[in-house]
Structure 1
Amino acid sequence: MATIKDVAKAAGVSVATVSRVVNHSPQVSQSALDAVTAAMKKLNYRPNAAARALVNQTTNYVGIVVNDASDPFFGMLITAVDKVIRQFDKQLLIGCGYHNANDERRALEFLINSGCESIILHAKGLSDQEIRDYCQRVRGLVIINRSVDGIEERCVSLDNYHGAFIATTHLIKQGHRQIACVASDQDIEDTHERIRGYSDALTQHGIALTQNYIESGTPTAEGGSTAMMNLLSKSLEITAVVAYNDYMAAGVFETLEENGLNVPENISVVGFDDALIAQFVRPRLTTVRYPIAIMAQHAAQLALALPSQNSTEITTSFTPTLVLRNSTATL
C-alpha cells in the first residue's frame, strides 16, 4: 500500500506539499497540485481519514446520535440529515443511544474522537448540564427534539404538550368525554409532556377522569395493544383513545378488533407523529403531525453553520398540527 512518502517521491515534491494537497490547502501551486494528483492516481493512494483527523482536529464527517436506527421515525431523521450534508460533500457517522445516558455518552465520544465538528444529538438520558458541557467541547453540536436551558439557540424542538392537547381537544369537540390515554412507558420528556397535554385538555373542558384511564406500554404496536387490553380489562366506559404514537395506535386498533369493537364506530382513536403507517391502517389514522424531516434539515443546517460561526436564520421551535383522517367520529 502506497504511503504519503511514496507519493511525494513520485511527484518530486516534499511530504508537506502532499499533505497540503490532501487537505485542500490554497497554498499549493498548480504544477504541484497536478503532480501530486497524478502520483496519487498512479499509486492508488488513499489518504488515511483517521490520521487527517488527528492532524486537523476535524474530518468531512458529520455525526448523529439517535435512539435506535432501526426505528422508522429515526430513519426519517437520519435520511433528512444525510440529504443536507451531502450537498456539502460530508459523510454521516451514526451512533445509537437507546435513551440511556451511558450509551449516549459512548456514542458522542466516538463521534468526537472521529473528528466530527458537527453533530446532531437526540438524547434523553444525558442531563441538561452534561449536554451543556458537550456544547462547550463541540462547536457544531445541535440538540434535536429537546430544549435545554441556556443553549436554546442550539436546540431544534417540538411542542409535545401542544400536540397531545390538540389531539385530546379534537375528541372533546366531537362530544367525547371518556377519553383514555395510551402512553409510552419511557421515562422521557416526550412522555411526560404528552400526558400533561392530554390531562390539561380534559381539565380545561371540565372533564374529571381517574388515573385508571391512562395505561402505558413500549412505544410499539405491541405496547399499544397491551395497553389497550389493560384498559378494556378495567371495564371502563371509553369512547376515545389518545395514543403516544402511530404505532401504539395501530396496536390499539388490533386489540379493539380482537374484542369486537370498531374504529371509529365504537371507539375513536388519535395517534401522534403522522408516520407512514398512519395512512395504511384501516380506517386511516387521524394523528398529530411531527415534522421530523424538516426539523432534521434545520438541525443539520445549524450544525454545519455553527463551527464557522456563519450567521443563519434557522427555525428552532416547531408546532405540531392535527391531520384529520377517518379514525374519529362525532358522538
Structure 2
Amino acid sequence: MATIKDVAKEAGVSIATASRVINNAPHTSESAIVAVQAAMAKLRYRPNANARALVSKSSNAIGVLVNDVSAPFFGTMVKAIDSIACEQGKQLLIGNGYHDAEKERNAINLLINSRCESLVVHSKGLPDSEIVKLAHEIPGMVLINRIVPEIGSRCIALDNRRGSYIATEHLIRSGHQHIGYICSSHDIDDAHDRHAGYLDALRDNGIEIRNDYVEYGEPDEMGGELAMINLLAKNTPITAVATYNDYMAAGCMTLLQENGIRIPEDMSVIGFDDGHIARYIYPRLTTIRYPIQVMANEAVKLSLLLASHDDEANQDKQHKLFVPIIVKRSSVSHPK
C-alpha cells in the first residue's frame, strides 16, 4: 500500500508539499498540485481519514445519536440526515444509545473523539445538566425530540402531548366514551407526554378517567399485542383504543382480529407517528403524523450552521416545536 512518502517521491516534491496538496492547504503551487494528484492516481494512494482530521482538526463526518438504528422510526431519521450530508459532501457516523445514559454517553464520546463537529443527538437517558455541558463543549450539537430550556435554540421537538390529545379527541368526536390507552413502558418524556395528552382530552370532554383502561408494554408490535391481551382480560367496555405508536397499534390490531373483533366495527384503533406500517396494515391505520424527516432536516442544517460559527444560527433563541396533525384512514368509526 502506497504511503505519502511514496507519493512525494513519485511527484518529485517534499513530503510537506505532498501533505499540503492532500489536505487542500492554501499557498500550494499549481505545478505541485498537478504532480501530487498524478502520483496519487498512479500509486492508487488513498489519504488516511484520521491523518487528515489531525491536520484540519475535524473529520468530514456528521455524528448522529439514535435510540436504535434498526427501528424504522430512527432509520427514517438517519436517512433524512444522510440526504443533507450527501449534499454537503459529508458522511455519517451513527451511535446507538438505547435510552440508556451510559450507552448514550459512550456513543457521544466516540463521535466527539472521531472529530465530528456537527452532532444531531436523540438522547433520552442523559440528564439535562449533562446535555447542557456537552452543548457548551460542542458548538455544532443539536438536540432532536427533546427540549432542554438552557439550550432551547438548539432543540427541535414535537408536541407529543398535543398529538395524543388530538388522537383521543378524534375518538371522542367519533362517539366513543370508553377509550383505552396502550402506553410505552419506557420511562421517557415521550411516553409521559403522550399518556398525559390522552388524560387531558378525557378531562376536557368530561369523561371519567379509569386506570383499568390503561396498559403498558414495550413500544413495539409484541408490546402492543400483550397490552391488548391485558385490556381484553379485564373485560372492560372499551370501544376504542389509542396507542403510543403505530407498532403497538399493529400488535393490538393483530390480536383483536385473531380473536374475531372487527376493526373498526367492534373496536376503533388509532396510532401515533405515521410510520410506513400505518399505510400497509389492514385496515389502514388512522394515526398522528410525526414529521421526523422534516425535523431531522432542520436539525442537521442547524448543526452544520452552528459548527461553521454562522451568526444566523444563533439569532433564534427559542426551541422549535413542531405541531402534529391527524391522518385519517380506516381504523376508526362510530361505536355500534
Q: TM-score, length-normalised on structure 2?
A: 0.96
How far does residue 90 in structure 1 lie from its aligned partner after superposition?
0.2
1:324 correspondence with 2:328: yes
| Partner SS state of residue 150, structure 2 | coil
Q: Distance in 2 between matches of 1:231 and 1:53?
A: 55
Q: Distance in 1 between matches of 2:304 and 2:276?
A: 29
1:21-36 alignment to 2 at 5 Å? Answer: 21-36=21-36
Residue 329 of structure 2 aligns to which amino acid in structure 1?
R
Residue 235 of structure 2 aligns to which amino acid in structure 1?
S
Q: Distance in 1 between matches of 2:216 and 2:97?
A: 22
Q: Distance in 2 between matches of 1:266 and 1:173?
A: 17
Q: Distance in 1 between matches of 2:50 and 2:170?
A: 54
| Partner SS state of residue 53, structure 2 | helix
Residue 321 of structure 1 aligns to which amino acid in structure 2?
I
| Partner SS state of residue 150, structure 1 | helix
How far does residue 15 in structure 1 lie from its aligned partner after superposition?
2.1
8 Å contact kept, 2:271–2:286: yes
8 Å contact kept, 1:119–1:142: yes
Partner of 1:170: 170
Partner of 1:193: 193
Q: Distance in 2 between matches of 1:330 and 1:23?
A: 66
Partner of 1:241: 241
Q: Distance in 2 between matches of 1:325 and 1:49?
A: 49
Per-residue CA deviation, residues 191-241 of structure 1 (Å, 9 max, x unaligned), is 000000000010011111221111010111110010011011111110110
Partner of 2:215: 215
8 Å contact kept, 2:239–2:268: yes
How far does residue 22 in structure 1 lie from its aligned partner after superposition?
1.6
How far does residue 106 in structure 1 lie from its aligned partner after superposition?
0.9
How far does residue 85 in structure 1 lie from its aligned partner after superposition?
0.8
1:78-89 alignment to 2 at 5 Å? Answer: 78-89=78-89
8 Å contact kept, 2:225–2:252: yes
Q: Distance in 2 between matches of 1:32 and 1:63?
A: 34
* Percent of paired sites with the same residue: 52
The range that moved more, 158-167 or 56-65, is 56-65
Q: Distance in 2 between matches of 1:189 and 1:303?
A: 23
Q: Distance in 2 between matches of 1:176 and 1:152?
A: 38
Q: Distance in 2 between matches of 1:104 and 1:18?
A: 39
The range that moved more, 221-230 or 50-59, is 50-59
User: Which stretches in structure 2 are left out of the alignment for 5+ residues?
Assistant: none
User: Which stretches in structure 1 are left out of the alignment for 5+ residues?
Assistant: none
Partner of 1:114: 114
| Partner SS state of residue 141, structure 1 | strand
8 Å contact kept, 1:178–1:209: no
Q: TM-score, length-normalised on structure 1?
A: 0.97
Q: Distance in 2 between matches of 1:18 and 1:141?
A: 34
8 Å contact kept, 1:128–1:148: yes
